[in-house]
């Protein structure tokens, strides 16, 4: 942590970015929740997961993580749409285990 004071204008600009990212985070959170419900519905009906939906939800969780790091002042990198989406950090577990 530096001892130099921060400029109020810079703080306000970052706060405005944070508001936009917060709105994007809430949309992503809702999409991840809906994806979870749909995925369980698919598993109950077909007895197997939808790989495209798993991949989409994995991307949503990665994006949510980046949003949270920026909003909580733990990263200086603005997430999408202010920078490109990163590559997969963690791939989904395969096979998925139930009841353990």
Residue ranges of domains in the chain: 8-71
**Residue 1: what pLDDT?**
58
User: For residue 74, what are its two tokens?
Assistant: 């733990």
Q: 50-54: long-range contacts at Cβ-Cβ below 8 A with a sequence spacing of 24 or more?
A: 54/92
**Which conformational region is residue 47 in: left (phi greater than 0), alpha (psi within -120 to 50 degrees), or beta?**
left
Query: What would the DSSP string read from start to end of 46-90?
Result: HSS--HHHHHHHHHHHHHHHHHHHHHTTS--PPPTTSSPPPPPSS
What would the pLDDT profile of 64-80 be if each residue is shown by its tens digit? 999 999 999 999 999 98
**Low-confidence residues of the chain: pLDDT under 70:** 1-2, 86, 88-89, 100
**Residue 95: what pLDDT?**
79
**Residue 82: what pLDDT?**
80
User: Rounded to whole angstroms, how far apart are CA atoms 74 and 68?
Assistant: 8
**Residue 100: what pLDDT?**
66
């Amino acid at each position: 942590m530096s001892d130099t004071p921060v400029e109020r204008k810079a703080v306000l600009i970052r706060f405005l970015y944070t508001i936009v990212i917060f709105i994007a985070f809430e949309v992503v959170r809702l999409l991840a929740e809906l994806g979870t419900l749909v995925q369980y519905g698919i598993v109950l009906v077909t007895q197997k997961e939808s790989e495209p939906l798993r991949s989409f939800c994995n991307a949503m969780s990665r994006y949510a993580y980046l949003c949270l790091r920026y909003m909580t002042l733990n990263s200086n990198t603005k997430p999408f749409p202010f920078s490109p989406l990163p590559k997969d950090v963690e791939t989904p577990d395969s096979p998925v285990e139930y009841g353990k």
